[in-house]
Amino acid sequence: MSTAELVKKIAREARAASRLVARLSTDIKNKALHAMADELLKRANTLKKENQKDLEAAEKNGLSKAMIDRLTLSDKVIKGMADGLREVAALPDPIGEVTSMWKRPNGLKIGRMRIPLGVIGIIYESRPNVTADAAGLCLKSGNAVILRGGSEAIHSNRAIAECLSAACALTGVPEAAVQVIPTVEREAVLAMLKLEEYIDLIIPRGGEGLIRFTVENSKIPVIKHYKGVCHVFVDKAADMDKAVNIAFNAKVQRPGVCNAMETLLVHEGVAKEFLPLIHGRYKEAGVEMRGCEATRKILRDITAAKEEDWGAEYLDLIIAIKIVKDMDEAIEHIENYGSLHTESIITENYTNAQRFIDTVNSSSVMVNASTRFSDGHQFGLGAEIGISTTKIHAYGPMGLEGLTTQKFIVYGDGQVRE
């Protein structure tokens, strides 16, 4: 069988399974999630043995220490996968929820009911734990899933998939509900992206290159976020303690993730007071500061920011700092250089807070809070399959609800149209 034929077979089976998965009771779905957790723990030694093959190949291929870290299935990571699946089992089942219902003058009762999307394709890199996480979320939301991990994790992903399939078989869930594409050929991804007949949504998780490749080649709708260039704007009316704490936390607490701040915007009326305060904190933490001209008149020892710094996603202890003359300039800067991810204003001024919330159309807009909260768990969604900066369908952190749509339901009593 050619790679394209293999992928088509997998997708066709996923489509057939999706009809059955959509109708599974909450109870069966939860039992399957717990069984998946059990299997992962029971087969931990096999998982680590298979993972070892990937790790050896990775070292031979000279992958970075960070990459190898992400690739490693330790007992802790395996327990993390199992715990994650049990957490998903504990979440409310979104399927069948009637979100609203109204009555028309002719007596028709019309409502909207949450249903699964059908078949979800997940394309991801390096971290094999995504295999279990994504499978759990898709199953709980009544979808079949096709997982395509990175070639560097192929042995680990196949071993995890075997645990998941075994759990499905044990609990009466169709095995084709969760499938891993078992080949490393890149052709498999291309083949998958053309199967609009069988796959309803593609979610790429990984670097910008992977995401651009996916969007470029997909006939299926893609929910994507390219990058997170998050801003904090310290308004003139900011409380200095809050401003310093938030600007510090948003940059330093975990710089390598998409909801970390990359650019700090400071109102000129408060720059002389605020900048030296944050400068001290950043220096202590080893943050490299790159400022606009006006910033460098106050902080004389920092680097000059270049044009490309304003759109940069450093994912590192580097920050671009710009002084703006007012909130309008801050908003314009965000519109020109932002990535529709997360922006926060620090202010005690009621009107400015509301105007920032109303005007900025990023997927998460905050007042007096660290951008680091932009996350499905932190927002209370219970889980997160990704963060969308595509305005279609889901926008911002996506939990189970992001893997569903709503159909109209109509209860009539014999009505016909005049």
Instruction: Work out how close the CB of 21 gets to its own copies at its nearest, in angstroms, rounded to a whole number.
Output: 11
Report how far residue 326's alpha carbon sits from residue 349's, in angstroms, rounded to the nearest whole number: 13
Q: Check residue 200 for interaction with its own copies (CB under 8 A).
A: yes
Instruction: Work out how close the CB of 117 gets to its own copies at its nearest, in angstroms, rounded to a whole number.
Output: 5
SS3 123: strand
34-73 mask for its own copies (x: CB under 8 A)? Answer: ----------------------------------------
The CA-based angle 354-393-404, given to 5 degrees, is: 120
Pairing of strands 303-304, 261-267: unpaired
Q: Check residue 413 for interaction with its own copies (CB under 8 A).
A: yes
Report how far residue 214's alpha carbon sits from residue 375's, in angstroms, rounded to the nearest whole number: 23
Of the candidates 305, 395, 399, 400, which one interacts with its own copies according to CB under 8 A?
Answer: 395
SS3 392: coil
Report how far residue 126's alpha carbon sits from residue 117's, in angstroms, rounded to the nearest whole number: 26
Binders of its own copies among residues 155 to 174 (CB under 8 A) are: none
Of the candidates 147, 203, 362, 385, which one interacts with its own copies according to CB under 8 A?
Answer: 362
Question: Is residue 386 a contact partner of residue 225, using CB atoms and an 8 Å limit?
Answer: yes
Q: Check residue 358 for interaction with its own copies (CB under 8 A).
A: yes
Of the candidates 28, 44, 57, 113, which one interacts with its own copies according to CB under 8 A?
Answer: 113
Instruction: Work out how close the CB of 173 gets to its own copies at its nearest, in angstroms, rounded to a whole number.
Output: 17
Instruction: Classify the C-alpha dihedral 370-348-275-263 as positive or negative.
Output: positive
DSSP string, 79-117: HHHHHHHHHHHHSPP-TT-EEEEEE-TTS-EEEEEEEE-
Of the candidates 270, 363, 382, 399, which one interacts with its own copies according to CB under 8 A?
Answer: 363
Q: Check residue 325 for interaction with its own copies (CB under 8 A).
A: no
At 83, the amino acid letter reads: D
Binders of its own copies among residues 367 to 386 (CB under 8 A) are: 367-370, 372-374, 378-380
Q: Check residue 226 for interaction with its own copies (CB under 8 A).
A: no
Q: Check residue 408 for interaction with its own copies (CB under 8 A).
A: yes
